Every structure is written in C-alpha cells, then in structure tokens.
Structure 1
C-alpha cells in the first residue's frame, strides 16, 4: 500500500507540474487548478471549445494527511466519490445538451440547472478546491495580509477557527463550511449538499478562500459520528499558503 501511494504521488506530481502556474486572481477565472480545463479543438479554427469539468490530480499521496485523515478515506473519497461527480456532470451536460463558457458561467446559471447537473458540477469543483486546501502536517500559517483580515473580521485566528468549526458542525446533514471573500469582507457560511457560495442561488455569495467537506464520506471511517473530532483534526492539515494566495 505504501509503495502504491508513493507511486501515485509521483505520478500526480508530474501531472501537476504540467499545469501552468497561475496568479492568485486565477481563482476568479477558474483556471485548471480550480478544476476547469479548456480544450483547443484544431477542427474549429483554433477557437476555444466549451469548458469541461475535470478532476485535478491529488497533490499528495493518500496517506500524506495521516494521522488526521486516514488513507482509506482519502483513497475512496478521491477515486470513488469525487471521480463519480466528474463522470456524472459530464454525462448530464451531454444528455441535456448544455454548454458553458466557463465554470463562472456554470455557477451563474446554477438555479436553472437540473439537480443532477448542479449537484455533480458543484461536487466536482468543491472537491478540487478541497484537495488543494490541504497539505501534509504541520499546517502552514496565514500570510500577514490574510491574518490581518481575519483579525479584523473575527477578532483573532483562534476566534475564526472557533466560528468556522461551529458553522461546519452546525451544517445539518451533508454539506460544506466556507470562508469567503465578499467584496473585500471575510465571511463564514455553509452550504447544503454540493452547493457552494459561487452559485447564483447561494444564501451568502462570495469567492471561496477555504472550504471543509462535512459529508460523512469525508470522515466516517475514522471518526464515525464524531464530526467535531474530524473538524478539530482537519485544522492540522490546512494549506494556509493556498488560502493566502486566494485572498487578493
């Protein structure tokens, strides 16, 4: 298992190296690292084809987040749950004869989409964002700019963590907790199922900076019904460098 994990990590590292470096602003445009790929079709005079959702390579081995997130959960979460969202959204977009210019376009029309298309598109993007929001322990620290904004909005980093954790714990059933940038103001919110704050029908809208998956499949093998223990452990693997780059 360890050998396979290392081989998977090396493979994914090479795939990640092939993805162009992006600026912090690229999150707004949903470049490849946010889960969107743009294909160039030579048969259409070089015009950009409609975007397709894609599963980003996992940026670490399945066992990299131990002891906080177990190996089996990571492998099942990535290869089964996430991969299924990607497969399903591609199928539903094709079956419903839909086309989108970008993920921004997709989420702007979320309220008009079928439940299958919206849920699986959200699940694909949310998980790509989630994987990139974590790293092997120890966790990094927020940049000075982000730390100042957190202090201003929530009082301190510890107070922010407490409020965010309460939002994650209080999300009834399946869903996500989010730290968002709403026109320069930091806010904490949560969404049900695979919704996210980018969708036009979100109760609280904004640009995601950090997201936590609180579906049971994200933690049940290790933590069973103790969602609070999972949330507390997750702070040890937050990739604050990635979060800080999203805050512009």
Structure 2
C-alpha cells in the first residue's frame, strides 16, 4: 500500500503543474541589483507577491477554457472583447498585469550597464525633438496618471513613437485601449512599485527610473 501511494503522488503533482500555462519569468538580475534607485525589498515583494498573484489568477481564470490556455498572453489581451464574458475582466486585469510586469522587468538593468544607441536616439529625436523633450513628456504621463497605472513609450504600425498612459493593468496592446501600438518601454506607477522607498514622492521615483532603464532591451523591442 505504501509503495502505491508513493508512486501516485508525483503523477498528481505533475498534472497540477501542467494546468498552469503561465509562470513568473526569471529575473535577469538580483533583487538588489537596481539599488539605490529601486530597493531590494520592493523588488522582492513586487515580483514574488504582486506579479505572482497576477499569474496565479490568470491561470485560474483559464481553467475552464482549455483552448484559450494554448494562446499567448499577448493574443489574450489583444482581443479582450472577443473572450467569454465571464473571464473578460479577469484576463484584462491579470493577463494585463502579467504582460506589463514581464515587460517592465525586461526594460530594467543595473545603473550604468546600458546606454541609448544612436539609432534609438535618432528615432526619439525625430518624433519628440530631443531626448530631453521625450523624457519630460514621459514623466508628465507618469506623474499625471491619476491613481494606479502605467506610462508607456509605444511604437505604432508605421514605426512612429508616441507616449501614453493607461489605468490599472491596461496597456496599448489591448483592444479596449484608447490608443494602440506596441509598448517598447513601460513604467509601473502603482504605489506598490515605489511606496516603500519613495512614499508619496512619485516624481522622485520616476526621475530615478531613468538610471536603471535597459536601453538595449528597449532597442530590441523598437526593432521588432
């Protein structure tokens, strides 16, 4: 009897893990790698609690829809209104949260390890006039987002760059977004992203963000 139980347990665990299509992406740096601009405690909580919750809730929402489990998170959020009504809100919030945070982690890097290429610089200057003007407009979008949300640098279908912000876990890929395009840089301005270190000083957090942008990754997304 004991031998039978031991053989059944691994099968049960494996079948549970097989139901979870989405998982946390591995961070490409340590929790303290972005210090002093983003503190290690915030990074740990943000990644292991907030992002993990979005992933778990996304998988739970898809449990009754095997066909949808085969889709990428991008495909799911691009067609929110085409999903079954009972999971639209869950996918919007949690699929959006998973996509947004995955992109956010990828466009961060330890300070001083990357720099903006001439190619990306010229593209920014073409559409914003200067890098300084681009940063100023991005900061306005981030500080001006009332409540929780995100600021984005987005590339449209013609390759033009523009800046926008979205509420909650929405993003410009979504069919429900006011303006659409492919995000190439995103900044999380939910309070949980900065409050332990910056308290109510969101503007200071936004300024610090520039010190840890992974410009190499932003350029890869720009060239997609």
With the length of structure 1 as denominator, give the TM-score of the two structures.
0.76
SS of 1:127's equivalent in the other structure is helix
Structure 2 distance, partners of 1:139, 1:217, is 26
Partner of 2:31: 62
Residue 135 in 1 paired to residue 104 in 2? no
Partner of 1:171: 145
Structure 2 distance, partners of 1:180, 1:120, is 21
5+ residue gaps in structure 2? 1-17
Partner of 1:189: 164
Measured after TM superposition, the shift of residue 55 of structure 1 is 1.4
Structure 2 distance, partners of 1:120, 1:148, is 35
Measured after TM superposition, the shift of residue 50 of structure 1 is 11
Matches within 5 A, 1:109-148: 109-113=79-83, 114-138=88-112, 140-148=114-122
Measured after TM superposition, the shift of residue 96 of structure 1 is 5.4
Would you identify which runs of 4 or more consecutive aligned residues in structure 1 move more than 6 Å? none
Matches within 5 A, 1:205-224: 205-224=180-199
Structure 2 distance, partners of 1:104, 1:66, is 31
SS of 1:203's equivalent in the other structure is coil
Partner of 1:86: 55
Q: Which has the larger radius of gyration?
A: 2
SS of 2:63's equivalent in the other structure is helix
CA contact under 8 A between 1:180 and 1:188: conserved in structure 2? Answer: yes
Cα RMSD of the aligned pairs, angstroms, is 1.8
5+ residue gaps in structure 1? 1-48
Shift of the 201–51 alpha-carbon distance from structure 1 to 2, 3 Å rule, reads farther
Structure 1 distance, partners of 2:137, 2:48, is 31
Shift of the 165–91 alpha-carbon distance from structure 1 to 2, 3 Å rule, reads same
Q: Which has the higher helix share?
A: 2
Shift of the 54–198 alpha-carbon distance from structure 1 to 2, 3 Å rule, reads same
Alignment length, in residue pairs?
Answer: 200
Residue 107 in 1 paired to residue 77 in 2? yes
Partner of 2:6: none
Shift of the 213–160 alpha-carbon distance from structure 1 to 2, 3 Å rule, reads same
Structure 1 distance, partners of 2:20, 2:179, is 26
Shift of the 51–205 alpha-carbon distance from structure 1 to 2, 3 Å rule, reads farther
Deviations 1:109-163 (A, max 9, x none): 1134521221001101110100010000125222222111100110111110110
Deviations 1:82-123 (A, max 9, x none): 001000000011145661533332122113452122100110
